[in-house]
Amino acid sequence: MREPTGLDALVVGVDRALRTLAGRGASNRASPGEQVPEARLGEAERAHAAGLMRVNHAGEVCAQALYEGQALVARDPDVRQSLLDAAREEEDHLAWCGERLDALGSRPSVLNPLWYSLSFAMGAVTGLLGDELSLGFVAATEDQVCKHLERHLEALPADDERSRAVVAQMHADEARHGTKALEAGGVDFPAPIKDLMTVISRFMTETSYRV
């Protein structure tokens, strides 16, 4: 078999981007909400749950792009593989959120192509600064994601246990990704940088909730 070329990597990357932006990941695990009965929600509750899950779906689009961008320029093959492994697990989240949006009669954010492009560029730039910083960025990002998922667990309609089951499993996975990144040698980012990341994250979430 011939060795993979840069063109091969480009083709694979474009394919992953298109599948991500199509709103569906290749889920390897059944949705945590699959066995939970679908609640009968009022119109306002359904719209609110859909807005939250649209935010989570957009976050998973960003996660795919970040990991792909970081993996593309990672120096250490083990770091590259760990980033790609995490991205494949995040595909489960993407699929689960897409399923919930369908069930709630809603759709993904129309801004997902923008989020993907910006996140891929951010991941690549961070990766070029070195593997330790790149892994630290993963850890800091996952910390931000865990915090907003915790807020979503509280904000979801009380009867929407199916969405809550999905968000709870996502939270557990994201926390594990962040811990593994630090254990692999990632830099623990200082508070001011994390605060800036929080501001950027809030802009994305508030926008995606509406559109």
28 found inside a domain: no
* pLDDT tens sequence across 61-80: 999 999 999 999 999 999 99
49 found inside a domain: yes
Quick one: pLDDT at residue 88? 86
Whether residue 92 is predicted with pLDDT greater than 60 in this model: the reply is yes
Name the amino acid, one letter, at 204: M
Q: Chain-wide mean pLDDT for the chain?
A: 89
CA distance linking residue 119 with residue 99, whole number of Å = 23
Integer CA distances (angstroms), 192 to 78, 81, 151, 198, 199, in order: 30, 30, 21, 10, 11
Domain range for 104 is 39-210
191 found inside a domain: yes
189 found inside a domain: yes
Give the predicted TM-score (pTM) of the model: 0.89
pLDDT over 70 percentage in the chain = 88
71 found inside a domain: yes
Quick one: pLDDT at residue 120? 94
The length of the chain in residues reads: 211
Whether residue 19 is predicted with pLDDT greater than 90 in this model: the reply is no
List helix spans (H) across 74-210. Answer: 77-103, 112-128, 131-155, 161-183, 191-210
108 found inside a domain: yes
122 found inside a domain: yes
Quick one: pLDDT at residue 12? 55
Which residues, in sequence order, are CB contacts of 16 under 8 Å at separation 6+? 64, 68
Sign of CA dihedral 130, 83, 70, 165: negative
Q: For residues 157 and 185, is the Cβ–Cβ distance under 8 A?
A: no
CATH code assigned at 132: 1.20.1260.10
Lowest mean pLDDT among 24-33, 100-109, 184-193: 24-33
Angle at the Cα of 157 (from 154 to 160), degrees rounded to 5?
Answer: 105
8 found inside a domain: no
Sign of CA dihedral 205, 14, 32, 106: positive
Quick one: pLDDT at residue 4? 46
Whether residue 26 is predicted with pLDDT greater than 80 in this model: the reply is no
Q: What's the domain count of the chain?
A: 1
* pLDDT tens sequence across 146-193: 999 999 999 999 999 999 999 999 999 999 999 999 999 999 999 998
